Homo-oligomer: A and B are copies of this chain.
Amino acid sequence: MFVRTLSDVRDSGREIVIAGGSARTARFITAADGVGFAFSDVSQGAGQEANLWYKHHWEANYIVEGTGEVEEVATGRKWRLEPGTIYVVGPEDRHVVRAETDLRLISVFNPPIMGDENHDADGSYPPTGPIPPGPG
């Protein structure tokens, strides 16, 4: 077993700025840990907007603090984000996350990301392994 604190993550340089500067993420678990998922604690500042499209991953985001909304680009459908809500996106799900207040989310990726990548122009990360099938 292993145990890590936010200080450990910061001291090892695994707290980084992502999504075009709109968010900060602390990468607690990455592909190198070999547990089959990546785990991050993400903060998006009030008023910030992130345009994202994980073409090669499934990601769950669970809201711990704050409010905002997530929009599915293909349909224009929007959901309110508040503590106790989770949104889950896959390769087909181009989406926009808007923070109304400061927003804190727990992010889990499968396949696990490396942890040092940043979003490309489409809001995507490079492939890191086989993509789960999703709910089908």
* Bound complex: CA A110 to CA B6 (Å): 22
**Given the contacts A5-B84, A85-B4, A93-B1, A134 and B34 also touching, CB distance less than 8 Å:** yes
Which residue of chain B is the closest to A87 with respect to CB atoms? B3
Cβ-defined contact, A86 with B1, below 8 A: no
With A3-B88, A84-B6, A88-B2 as known contacts, state yes or no: A36 contacts B39, CB within 8 Å.
no
* Interface residue? A29 (CB, 8 A): yes
Q: How many copies does the complex hold?
A: 2
A95 CB contacts on chain B under 8 angstroms: 1
Confirm or deny: A42 has a beta carbon within 8 angstroms of a beta carbon on chain B.
Answer: no
Interface residues of A (CB under 8 A from B): 1-6, 28-29, 32-37, 39, 41, 58, 60, 62, 64, 70, 72, 79, 84-90, 93, 95, 106, 108, 110-111, 132-136
Sampled A-B contacts (22; CB under 8 Å): A1-B93, A3-B70, A3-B86, A4-B85, A4-B86, A5-B85, A28-B60, A28-B86, A29-B86, A32-B135, A33-B88, A33-B135, A34-B132, A34-B134, A35-B88, A36-B58, A37-B37, A37-B108, A37-B110, A39-B60, A39-B86, A106-B106
